[in-house]
Amino acid sequence: MTIYNVLNNFKKFIEEVALNERLLTKTNQSKMPQIKLGYLEDNEYGEEKEDFPYIVIRYLKDQVSEESATVNIKVLFGVYSEDSEGWMDILHCMELIKREILKKQNFDFYTVELPIKCTIPEEHPFPNYVGMMELELTVPRIEMEGDEEPWPV
């Protein structure tokens, strides 16, 4: 089990949750948000594409101790809205995913710990709106092989 497996599993979960969601694009079409791991692709000028709507799952850090192992991730949400109500689309997406996480909380090989932190920044680069969710996942800790004690006493 690797952190990549955890992220990929979580991505599949988000894809299932967002399957029926439709949000506007800059060309006024309705589509499901693209769901990516890490970062949006760069355009030909080396700048991040503004390919709205999107949900990006980003690794922040991980930590292993004697008792447990955790992975912290950030889920970024981006929508396009020509009116001042774009923040409502962000809130809707965050609530949808948060609700489904709380229903399940224990996944195949990790657990989403509470609290779940959601933020919508006060300032937005209109007509683009963004939000973020921070999660801590408890994952299996790799045990040392052999007869030696894994941690000094």
Residue 117 has pLDDT above 80, yes or no: yes
Residue 51 has pLDDT above 70, yes or no: yes
Mean pLDDT of the region 44-71: 83
Mean pLDDT of the region 18-45: 82
Report the range of poorest mean pLDDT among 38-47, 68-77, 100-109, 114-123: 38-47
Q: For residue 28, what pLDDT band results from cuts at 50, 70 and 90?
A: confident
Query: Mean pLDDT score of the chain, rounded to an integer?
Result: 88
CATH superfamily label, 3-139: Phage minor tail protein U (3.30.70.1700)
82 vs 25: CA distance, rounded Å: 10
Mean pLDDT of the region 96-105: 96
**pLDDT greater at residue 1 or residue 66:** 66
Sorted by where each begins, the domain ranges of the chain are 3-139
pTM of the predicted model as reported, rounded to 2 decimal places = 0.85
